Structure 1
Amino acid sequence: MQPSFGSEEACAAYNYILSGGFLTEHKYTRQLESELAEFTGAKYCFMVSNGTLAISAALLAVGISKEDRVLVPTYTMIATANAVKLIGAVPVFADVDQRTNTLSVETIRSKINDVDAVIHVSLNNRCHDMNAIVETCKDAGKPIIEDAAQSLGSTWCGKALGTFADVGIFSFSSPKIISMGQGGCVVTDNDEIALRLRRIKDFGRDRPGTEEYSAFGLNFKFTDLQAVIGLEQLKKLPGRVRALSDMWDLYYKHLAKYMIPKADKGWIPWFIEIFVLNRDELAVQLRAAGIGVREVYPPVHIQKCYNESSLALPNATRVHQTGLWLPSWSSLSKNQIEAICSCVNLLM
């Protein structure tokens, strides 16, 4: 997974610098927000500094505060839990299911009365029945946030991931399908949540450029220098969606027995993953052959900073012990992918 930038991004950044802009967020950030909202189908979009702070801002906007308990899958990038902890709330770790490696409706139902909010992580762009998940949270009166950091361009039942819940977030860090080096955004269709987000990301201001503050907020702002790069990246997004879909099809043709089948026609991978019992041995051999691989995320609850290893969450443990990410950038050639697959099959 690596970013892809070209002359278009270089020229956009160069021309912006020469234009005498102040670099901080202004008209190009507003344009990027508008285009991302249109692409995802969301009513509102707010650019922020990164995906982690996007989650924290989303939590604050739905009313989560110190000591509130937030359900989080333990199989996720640690930023999901850290964003909860950053605002003084408490991550409550839950196991993922064996079919999608995400929170199931059944798990959420079993925990919903013990938490104040739910974060659904569409890890590698997978999910269960999002309508049932959202309805479960709504019936319980608990807000739900979609951590769709990896999921821009992926849909479930024709609707963009990140747009089912009360509020959703996306990330634009270096390995994502489009990147601005860093950055994130928060999307919502809710007018009141949008008003809170606008204040939260700008020190709590009622209006930009004023010194009137009606709420607590911080500086989660973006920059126009990043935005002009993002606008060029966004033009390339449809082509990258197609390329990632084609890449997965080719990998699956050769490595299907080690992969999770595609569950929705709008699904695209963020990364190509395989699950094998000899994961560690295979990883060593592939690296020796010059193929860059990476072990999947470890369960967050066993990390020293959380130290909840007494929890029995076996599915996430299994995923971590068997999962391996293969080269996954959208510009991989057919010959490169087939060579990787041949090497994997030879070593297995």
Structure 2
Amino acid sequence: MTNHQINQIEPKITKKDINSINTYLKKDNWITENKFTLEFENRFKKYTGSKYAVAFPNGTLTLLGILKSLNLKKNSKVIIPNITMVATATSVKLAGFNPIFADVEKKYLCMCPTDLEKKVKQKNVKAVIYVTLNGRSGNLEKIKKICKKYKIYLIEDSAHSIGSFLKNKHHGNFGIASSFSFSMPKIITTGQGGMIVTNSKKIYKKLKLIKNFGRAQAGNDDYISEGYNFKFTDIQAILGISQLEDITARVKKKKYIFNYYHKYLKKIKKINFLEFKKNETPWFIDIYVDDKNNLKSHLKKNNILTRDIYPPLNKLKFLSNEREKLPISKNYSDKGLWLPSSLNLSKKNLDYIINCIKEFYEN
């Protein structure tokens, strides 16, 4: 048994990150949102290939910001996948709209186009939030065609998708706007934080007002529209810039970790992996097993922490009164486990985890 606990996820903060923050703090800087936030936005939009980027305090408020920018009516409905982080749904509620849950596909666990097409015909459906779960594209292009057919907005929740591309286009460039997250578990982190990317100048201008109290400029009280204090901070931006400079190595390491697990565990018939395409980057390494709880307990006894994938959102009473059976969501949620996925994992760590999993199935 290893002497130290292997966490399911932890941030990777490098000496370069620390030096960047120390250098910044030693200068006479403003700390709040200023020129480095603008630089981070510019660098991020360049990385994703988007025309515009706007930094927000977190990935829940990015989704809220996008929904607010669309000027939807109060009784609007927004369709979201039934397996996603709860913030996808609560952002819809926070905006004053009603979430409708669509089942996911077996192959990717992203929103099922067939189920979407059934639900999109409901009265007052105005938008779809498509989650590229765990960095997988799923059937994003098919979803886009459905949204275009019914003249509804496509919003991307790309929280897991830094470093993932579909046909050489980075996730986040397929709908009206996209939400990215920089919370602690993400490939790059600013502690908390998020970014909206969009190719619409109109949406970009609305987002800039929404995040700054409805003011066109900071430092005055000339209010053009309703807005809020959703500003970022330069100290976070300094960390984000530093980590974004290392994004190629971070993406490469995530792919290495998935491929290493897959190589040594794929022969165990009781473990099911979902595929990643060459230009998709795993966020967490997910496996699907029938005896999840026993495997979790075995790994925990050996100082290895894991995490269940998200529960089906339509089963949460505070989100929905409907109890529609969405069988794929339930089945994969019951079986889904995220293995340790930190960028800090060494080959020694990975070998130990893999051997513990093999030991469980051999016994």
What are the within-5 Å matches in structure 2 for residues 8-23 of structure 1?
A: 8-23=16-31
2:53–2:196 CA contact under 8 A, matched in 1: yes
Match for 1:107 among 97, 110, 115?
115
SS in structure 1 of the partner of residue 75 of structure 2: coil
What percent identity do the matched residue pairs reach? 36
Q: Read off the aligned partner of 2:92 and give its amino acid letter.
A: V
State yes or no: 1:173 paired with 2:183: yes
Is 1:52–2:65 an aligned residue pair? no
Please state if 1:304 is matched with 2:314: no
CA distance in 2, matches of 1:184, 1:29: 12
Does residue 196 of the first structure (1) align with residue 206 of the second (2)?
yes
Seen in structure 2, the aligned counterparts of structure 1 residues 130 and 306 have a Cα distance that, compared at 3 Å, is: closer
Q: Which residue of 1 aligns with 2:86?
A: 78
Matches of 2:350 and 2:319, distance apart in 1: 38
Does the C-alpha gap of structure 1 residues 263 and 286 become closer, same or farther in structure 2, counting only changes over 3 Å? closer
- 1:139: Cα distance to partner? 2.1
Q: Distance in 2 between matches of 1:116 and 1:280?
A: 39
- Rounded Cα–Cα distance in structure 2 between residues aligned with 1:260 and 1:9: 34
Which residue identity does 1:188 align to in structure 2? T
**Cα deviation code 1:182-235 (max 9, x no counterpart):** 000000001111111111111111233332222211111100011111111111
Distance in 1 of aligned mates of 2:73 and 2:55: 22
Change (3 A) 1:165 1:260: farther
**Letter of the aligned partner of 2:319 in structure 1?**
Y
Say if 1:64 and 1:117, in contact at 8 Å, map to a contact too.
no
* Count of equivalent residues: 348
1:273 aligns with one of 256, 266, 286: 286
How much does 1:260 deviate?
3.0
CA distance in 2, matches of 1:305, 1:154: 32
Which of the residues 91, 105, 119 maps onto 2:99?
91
Name the counterpart of 2:77: 69
> What residue is the counterpart of 1:291 in the other structure?
304
Verify: 1:152 aligned to 2:165, yes or no. no
- What does residue 313 of structure 1 align with? 326
Distance across 1 between alignment mates of 2:241 and 2:213: 26
1:25 is aligned, of 18, 33, 37, to: 33
SS at match of 1:116: strand
Is 2:347 the counterpart of 1:341? no
**Residue 36 (str. 1) matches residue 44 (str. 2):** yes
Partner Cα distance (1:152, 1:64) in 2: 28
State the SS of the aligned residue for 2:121: helix
Which residue does the alignment assign to 1:140?
A: 150
| 1:22-61: CA deviation from partner (whole Å, max 9, x where unpaired) | 2110100000000000000000000000000000001111
Could you tell me which runs of 5 or more consecutive residues in structure 1 were left unpaired when the two chains were aligned: none
Q: Is the 8 A contact 1:96 1:104 kept in 2?
A: yes
Paired residues of 2:132 and 2:138 also in contact (CA < 8 A) = no
User: Structure with the greater relative contact order (CA < 8 A, sep ≥ 6): 1 or 2?
Assistant: 2
Correspondence for 1:2 = 10
Match of 1:164 in 2: 174
2:253 — aligned with what? 243
2:214 maps to a residue whose letter is G
Q: Which secondary structure state, in structure 1, belongs to the residue aligned with residue 80 of structure 2?
A: strand
Q: Work out the CA distance in 2 between the residues paired with 1:235 and 1:65.
A: 41
